[in-house]
Homo-oligomer: A and B are copies of this chain.
Amino acid sequence: MNADLASWRDGAARSAIVDFVRRVTTDGSDDYVDPVDRVAVADNDGTLWTEKPMQIEIGFILQRLAAMAEQDPDLRAKQPWKAASAEDYAWLGGAITKHYGGDDSDLKVLMGGFVRAFAGMSAEDYLAASGEYLRNGSHPTLGRGFRQCAFGPMVELLRYLEAHGFTLYVASGGDRDFIRAISDEAYGIPSERVIGSSNALAYQEDEHGASVVYQAQPDVFDDGPVKAVRIWSRIGRRPILSVGNANGDIPMLEFTGGPSLPALRLVVLHDDEEREFAYTDGADELLDRASDKGWTVISVRNDWTTVF
């Protein structure tokens, strides 16, 4: 992958990126930033890879829930096992859509199934299972493997930033260890630089010493204000560049820069029904704020010559 933004059309978004990178890397510039502080954070679902018709992680959870329901007929009568067994993607996708609309009821039911789905599994087994799902599965409508669902221009942006001394992090509302299974291969971002949601882990001694094992309860839902808090907790620095696509990314974008560092805030607008998907649900507040504050909006349709 080259580092020259080859898939980005000339335009406001590309110019904003190139100009910002030039300013923070030019010695003597008022906006010069030491390499150690050149931190960039990117949301995952809908920012680094596609999140429609439903987040890829949901398919992984579904597969596991369906396998559980196969073993236990009682579960097949209950959500979310019922939807999983029936491949009722409308119910499942709807849980997420409703969440972004402010109604968490189905998401809570889904998460209730999720926390039970992986309870008792070691973190390493979960990582391996995620990796297997991602290697073997493919997107339901785009006709490509999951590992090819990353947005090519975003990966180019990551390489471009890296070539200019930036350190890259994923900061996702999605599950941290699920993303870790793909982040290095898809984005060149190693597991220690993936920040995300997680179920609770517990320490268990075993024949090898000890392991950490998933519990049937949530721990962190890394979205909204929590994203900013966890970026600090994990990095101990503010990002100077951030990119997101949903209302839950607003705090991450607001936290960028701060009193002493410059900031570039990027928002991915999904407006390309032909090549990807066109939607603004769950992004209304973000797009309003981007407009109010002059944040840079990336149009999938206009700014990218290719999407994948």
**A interface residues with partner B (beta carbon < 8 Å):** 36, 123-124, 127, 167, 176-177, 180, 190-192, 194, 198, 201-203, 205, 208-212, 225-226, 228-229, 232-238, 251, 253-259, 263
A192 touches B237 (CB 8 A): yes
Given contacts A203-B225, A228-B203, whether A208 and B123 have CB atoms under 8 Å apart is no
Distance (Å) between the CB of A200 and the closest chain B CB?
A: 8
B210 touches A228 (CB 8 A): yes
B123 touches A232 (CB 8 A): yes
A209 touches B123 (CB 8 A): no
B233 touches A203 (CB 8 A): no
B124 touches A209 (CB 8 A): no
B235 touches A201 (CB 8 A): no
Distance (Å) between the CB of A220 and the closest chain B CB?
A: 9
List the number of copies, as a whole number. Answer: 2
A232 touches B201 (CB 8 A): yes
Chain B residue nearest to A207 in the complex (CB): B259
Distance (Å) between the CB of A75 and the closest chain B CB?
A: 28
Chain B residue nearest to A219 in the complex (CB): B233
- Chain B residues near A203: list those with CB within 8 A: 225-226, 228-229, 251, 255
B205 touches A124 (CB 8 A): no
CA–CA, A254 and B253, complex, Å = 39
A258 touches B211 (CB 8 A): yes
A255 touches B192 (CB 8 A): no
- Chain B residues near A123: list those with CB within 8 A: 232
CA–CA, A78 and B298, complex, Å = 56
CA–CA, A235 and B195, complex, Å = 10
Chain B residue nearest to A169 in the complex (CB): B192
> Which 4 A-B pairs rank lowest in CB-CB distance, beginning with the nearest?
A191-B236, A203-B225, A210-B254, A209-B254
Chain B residue nearest to A211 in the complex (CB): B258
- Further contacts, 20 of them, CB under 8 A, given A123-B232, A211-B255, A212-B229: A36-B190, A127-B236, A176-B236, A191-B236, A192-B234, A192-B236, A192-B237, A198-B233, A201-B229, A201-B232, A202-B229, A203-B226, A203-B228, A203-B251, A208-B257, A208-B259, A209-B258, A211-B258, A212-B228, A212-B255
CA–CA, A263 and B232, complex, Å = 31
B127 touches A177 (CB 8 A): no
CA–CA, A36 and B229, complex, Å = 27
Distance (Å) between the CB of A70 and the closest chain B CB?
A: 28
- Chain B residues near A209: list those with CB within 8 A: 253-258, 263
